Structure 1
Amino acid sequence: MSVGPTHGLADPRGYEPPQSIPAAEELGRIHFVGIGGVGMAPVARIAAERGLPVSGSDIKRTATIDALRAAGALIRIGQAPENLDGVDTVVATTGVRPDNVEFVEAMRRGLRIIHRATALAALMVGRTAVLVAGTHGKTTTTSMLAVALDVLGLDPSYAIGGEIGASGVSGHAGGGAVFVAEADESDGTFRHYEPDIAVVTNVELDHTDYFGSLDDVHKAFVSFVDRLKPGGLLVVCADDPGAVAVGRVAQDTGLRVVWYGENAAVPGQPSRAGRPEGEQTVDYRIEGVELVGGAARFDIRAKATGMVHHLRLGVPGRHNAANGTAAFAVLDALGTDLNRAPDALAAFHGARRRMDFKGEAGGVRVYDDYMHHPTEIAATLAAFRALAGDGRLIVAFQPQRYTRARTFLREYGPRLGAADAVVVLEVYPGSGEDPIEGVTGAVIAGDIPLPPDRVVFEPDSAAVPARLVAWARPGDLIVTAGAGDVTSLGAKILDLLAAGDGAASPEPAGAEAGSDS
């Protein structure tokens, strides 16, 4: 359970899945190192809302820190050994360095040190745990489920790697029996969970600072699935080859699997035992997808009943039809009223940084999105293209992490060619990363198949808003895209658009659209 001296945080592989998961109430006073982080904050919030003694530290005060304090957490700005006085359990992530002053002090005192994923697993003890995993789509699918379950009156607990648009909250301790959480594969620690229901939306190579190959990713997902509780259920997308490969292994080991997707049948392949697989029809088939403005309309045909369920999601994109169908399958597995499920799912209107509407000025709409993987770029730009209608699609793209950009360097450009005009920023480095020779936004810009006057490499992020606005005209749609600080440019873009038009329409409450990774 605890991390010993030979399992430093510099190597995330040192965090082995715990042999047994204690209830969170057994952890005593819990201290979060870097409590305001996107992964830490929802876990700390849930613990605080449950009435557990929670403390934490971070390097600066933010709105997230203020919200956690309001929830009951004792938080100090700045990290120091004395912050651990009275603490029983220290929670850290793989991003915390082994020479961090609080980590070193926790080791010296012999305190229990656990990974964030183990802390979240402890909070799930005694509840029906639904874990959503996948290279793309997990934030949106988890958010959809949280909103739908709440609408259905089940008051779920949830932990999400992004804020639900309407509430601005990423974690909540509900009073109901269901706990829904996003299972992040980036450092392999999603193997710490013990789900009752697991979802795998897709499996592709990403996070190449941790995974050396697609085979490594596959093995990690298989390990995650192997943690299903006895009698548990795996929900798998039949349209994604990587997800199918994981699902086939799960079936071969006797796990209960249901499939969803636009494919009528699950692609066949030999099982791990060498037996040929016969054709298998999907359990929840997506039919008749229509993308209308900011919505996705489609039908789900349920194999078990033969019934067809009509859905209209409040978020655009064919990929969101798949995310919604995964959520529908989980709602069915939980025994909810499927006659009410379509309306419950329609109540979801997006997550922050997932097709996130920032405002409109001068007749130009501005959105922000987290897309940072070539597959995400292709799917999300297709959704934005439908949303733009007769207007042009103008994109500012910031690649994130040199290790990821090195792997996909020549794949970004062709996907970005789906836009009408693109500004490419310089690579936004990951924590502790050094630049890699030859890995630069200039290479990506050179690969975009658009006229030269519609592609710009701009390493000065401060100059990007003016570049975008110079291209824009009424009816167009501007997107800031990437997992780095490009998200901060939306307000400046709107200011410049407003200065040229005389008025701006700010982001209305709850008006976000959504999609994912």
Structure 2
Amino acid sequence: MAEHTQKIHFIGIGGIGMSAIAGICVSNGDKVSGSDLRLSNLTQQLAKSGALIHEGHDASNIAKDTDIVVKSTCIRNDNPEIIQAVKLGINVVSRGQMLRSIIDKASFSVGITGTHGKTTTTGLISHVLAYCEKDPTVLIGGEVDSFNGNFKLGHSGMVVAEIDESDGYFRNIKVCSGIVTNIEREHIENYGSMDNLVEAYKEFVNRIDECGFCVYNGEDKILDGIIKKSLCKSISFGIDKKFDICAHNYTYAKNIEFDLEAYGSVLGRVKSSLIGRYNLMNILAVVAVGLEIKLDFVQIAEGIASFKGVKRRFDTVGEFDGIKIIEDYAHHPTEINAVITAAKNYSLGRVVSVFQPHRYSRTKDLMKELTNCFYSADILILTDIYSADEEKKKDINARSIYETLDKTRFEQALFLEKEDIPELISGIVKKDDIILVLGAGDIKDISLEIVREIRNSRID
């Protein structure tokens, strides 16, 4: 992919999307530097690959000979590094613009967007393409076991990218082919209204190459209305024979298995170690793309069967005395309900859900939905909001969710400080229970501590 070496600085390099782009640039031979308020495993991996990583933001981090500065969505214009870059006359671009520049150079691109399921779908299609020896370049919003990270530099000219819709820039990205998993109310703080959000999806779909195709969730009525007005070929998927790609004779409680039907013909059985209806839908989207680009169905099915998943997507991080501790990134009410339901079907015991709300703006906008999405759990533990660098708002807090809950529908419902959860939870779980640690923030930091507390309490 390399054209010529550039010196690129990333402000907010530790973000999952930013670090993927930075990783591609490092792998491509560019000289990469970056800064972030919090260092992480992702920044450590970039440093090992040759990137210069700074902890904290400072004007001195911007070298005079920098060609491009890439800023994360959360970086404001009064950031000292932005001010310095402008002073030096360096071109400052957004994360979305940088992603677009990578996609624009591809000979063939697949862009995956939607409210839910983007990361797993991107990870799975990337894995299947690699299994079929297509060697794609991949940028993804999660860490995939298949290539031990959130990016992979391929050499085929094909690019597969998860395209984040949160800041609205995705409407400016043109791909050869697209997957739209679903559309729900989300990121309204950036869009202003649901109508504006839907309009942005329309623009994304309408920018797909007319010679390409869009794979979409046919069960989503909003999305169905958008796709019918698009210029490119459209391919619907869903768990019903009325869709182009569909599943029947299916199960998804302990694992996924189904007969795949394409355009009225049954092609064969598909099996996966993933669970849940939502993952069955993700798999259907991947099969649709694979068939459209003329991959062999048997190879597609083999690739799906060998996929081990994405970190923090129903990811088992520990098990002791029959108790499983599972992390999931779910933070939207629909995702939360889907994951708890899947866990309930999967578990031999109870489901203990631990949830940390993500962002004040999201919590305010989805407060009603958040109070109604946990009722499949046996025990619920809530903790306070992870701000994600938003300014704290005194009138919005997680206790409002807790106080509105019908607590009689749970065996127990508790509100705790995050650091108090591991010790308490070790005293209430039983053999065969599943503990779900849910949220997009730093709630993941207590997962291994929960494992340790459970192990220690039972050894003692």
Instruction: State TM-score, norm by structure 1.
Output: 0.84
Report the equivalent of 1:393.
Answer: 351
The question of 1:89 aligning with 2:46 is answered: no
Which of 277, 283, 294 is the matching residue for 2:244?
Answer: 283
Task: Please report how far the alpha carbon of residue 79 of structure 1 lies from its aligned counterpart in structure 2 after TM superposition.
Answer: 3.3
Which of 107, 111, 124 is the matching residue for 2:86?
Answer: 107
The question of 1:98 aligning with 2:98 is answered: no
In 2, Cα distance between the equivalents of 1:248 and 1:285? 19
Task: Please report how far the alpha carbon of residue 454 of structure 1 lies from its aligned counterpart in structure 2 after TM superposition.
Answer: 1.0
**What is the identity, as a one-letter code, of the residue corresponding to 2:43?**
I
In 1, Cα distance between the equivalents of 2:319 and 2:66? 48
Q: Segments of 4+ in structure 1 off by > 6 A?
A: none
Task: Please report how far the alpha carbon of residue 26 of structure 1 lies from its aligned counterpart in structure 2 after TM superposition.
Answer: 6.3
Which of 328, 334, 339 is the matching residue for 2:298?
Answer: 339
**What is the identity, as a one-letter code, of the residue corresponding to 1:143?**
G
In 2, Cα distance between the equivalents of 1:129 and 1:419? 40
The structure-2 alpha-carbon separation of the partners of 1:145 and 1:348, relative to structure 1 and needing over 3 Å to count, comes to: same
Which of 427, 437, 456 is the matching residue for 1:480?
Answer: 437
Report the equivalent of 1:278.
Answer: none
Task: Please report how far the alpha carbon of residue 289 of structure 1 lies from its aligned counterpart in structure 2 after TM superposition.
Answer: 2.0
The question of 1:143 aligning with 2:120 is answered: no
In 2, Cα distance between the equivalents of 1:455 and 1:62? 32
Bigger shift: 160-169 or 339-348?
160-169
In 1, Cα distance between the equivalents of 2:395 and 2:2? 46
In 2, Cα distance between the equivalents of 1:496 and 1:456? 18
Task: Please report how far the alpha carbon of residue 311 of structure 1 lies from its aligned counterpart in structure 2 after TM superposition.
Answer: 0.8
The structure-2 alpha-carbon separation of the partners of 1:214 and 1:335, relative to structure 1 and needing over 3 Å to count, comes to: same
In 2, Cα distance between the equivalents of 1:453 and 1:417? 11
Report the equivalent of 1:131.
Answer: 111
Task: Please report how far the alpha carbon of residue 62 of structure 1 lies from its aligned counterpart in structure 2 after TM superposition.
Answer: 2.9
In 2, Cα distance between the equivalents of 1:441 and 1:346? 42
Q: Unpaired runs of 5+ in structure 1? A: 1-22, 266-281, 504-517
After superposition, the C-alpha distances for 1:435-474 in whole angstroms (9 at most, x for unaligned) are: 251543343353245456511122x111112332222100
After superposition, the C-alpha distances for 1:289-317 in whole angstroms (9 at most, x for unaligned) are: 20242x1111220007x233311112111
- 2:357/2:386 contact within 8 Å kept: yes
Task: Please report how far the alpha carbon of residue 357 of structure 1 lies from its aligned counterpart in structure 2 after TM superposition.
Answer: 0.5
In 1, Cα distance between the equivalents of 2:176 and 2:408? 48
Task: Please report how far the alpha carbon of residue 109 of structure 1 lies from its aligned counterpart in structure 2 after TM superposition.
Answer: 1.9
Secondary structure of 1:123's aligned partner: helix
After superposition, the C-alpha distances for 1:82-126 in whole angstroms (9 at most, x for unaligned) are: 422211111112211111111111111222111112212222213
- 1:165/1:351 contact within 8 Å kept: yes
Secondary structure of 1:95's aligned partner: coil
In 1, Cα distance between the equivalents of 2:167 and 2:2? 22
- 2:209/2:232 contact within 8 Å kept: no
After superposition, the C-alpha distances for 1:143-162 in whole angstroms (9 at most, x for unaligned) are: 00111111111111101111
Task: Give the alignment of 1:204-353 within 5 angstroms.
Answer: 204-250=184-230, 254-265=231-242, 282-293=243-254, 295-303=255-263, 306-353=265-312
The question of 1:39 aligning with 2:24 is answered: no
Task: Please report how far the alpha carbon of residue 335 of structure 1 lies from its aligned counterpart in structure 2 after TM superposition.
Answer: 1.8
Secondary structure of 1:135's aligned partner: coil
In 1, Cα distance between the equivalents of 2:188 and 2:316? 30
Report the equivalent of 1:462.
Answer: 419
In 2, Cα distance between the equivalents of 1:448 and 1:299? 40
In 2, Cα distance between the equivalents of 1:403 and 1:483? 14
In 2, Cα distance between the equivalents of 1:155 and 1:128? 12
Task: Please report how far the alpha carbon of residue 27 of structure 1 lies from its aligned counterpart in structure 2 after TM superposition.
Answer: 8.0
The structure-2 alpha-carbon separation of the partners of 1:378 and 1:314, relative to structure 1 and needing over 3 Å to count, comes to: same
In 1, Cα distance between the equivalents of 2:145 and 2:106? 28
- 1:423/1:467 contact within 8 Å kept: no
The question of 1:191 aligning with 2:171 is answered: yes
Bigger shift: 67-76 or 350-359?
67-76
Report the equivalent of 1:3.
Answer: none
Which of 128, 132, 153 is the matching residue for 1:152?
Answer: 132
Report the equivalent of 1:403.
Answer: 361
Report the equivalent of 2:58.
Answer: 80
In 1, Cα distance between the equivalents of 2:44 and 2:398? 37
Report the equivalent of 1:11.
Answer: none
- 2:96/2:170 contact within 8 Å kept: yes
Report the equivalent of 1:417.
Answer: 375
Secondary structure of 1:340's aligned partner: helix
**What is the identity, as a one-letter code, of the residue corresponding to 1:422?**
L
Task: Please report how far the alpha carbon of residue 237 of structure 1 lies from its aligned counterpart in structure 2 after TM superposition.
Answer: 0.6
In 2, Cα distance between the equivalents of 1:75 and 1:428? 25
In 2, Cα distance between the equivalents of 1:466 and 1:442? 24
The percent of aligned pairs where both chains have the same amino acid is 29
In 1, Cα distance between the equivalents of 2:419 and 2:30? 43
In 1, Cα distance between the equivalents of 2:212 and 2:152? 24
Secondary structure of 1:339's aligned partner: helix
Report the equivalent of 1:64.
Answer: 42
- 1:401/1:430 contact within 8 Å kept: yes
Q: Size of the alignment, in residue pairs?
A: 458
In 1, Cα distance between the equivalents of 2:186 and 2:398? 18
In 2, Cα distance between the equivalents of 1:239 and 1:312? 22
**What is the identity, as a one-letter code, of the residue corresponding to 1:261?**
G
- 1:424/1:445 contact within 8 Å kept: no
- 1:442/1:457 contact within 8 Å kept: no
In 1, Cα distance between the equivalents of 2:173 and 2:197? 17
Cα RMSD (Å): 2.0
After superposition, the C-alpha distances for 1:302-335 in whole angstroms (9 at most, x for unaligned) are: 007x233311112111110100010111111222
Report the equivalent of 1:379.
Answer: 338
Q: Unpaired runs of 5+ in structure 2? A: none
Instruction: State TM-score, norm by structure 2.
Output: 0.94
Report the equivalent of 1:9.
Answer: none
In 2, Cα distance between the equivalents of 1:53 and 1:41? 14
Secondary structure of 2:229's aligned partner: helix
Task: Please report how far the alpha carbon of residue 242 of structure 1 lies from its aligned counterpart in structure 2 after TM superposition.
Answer: 2.5
**What is the identity, as a one-letter code, of the residue corresponding to 1:502?**
I
Secondary structure of 1:348's aligned partner: coil
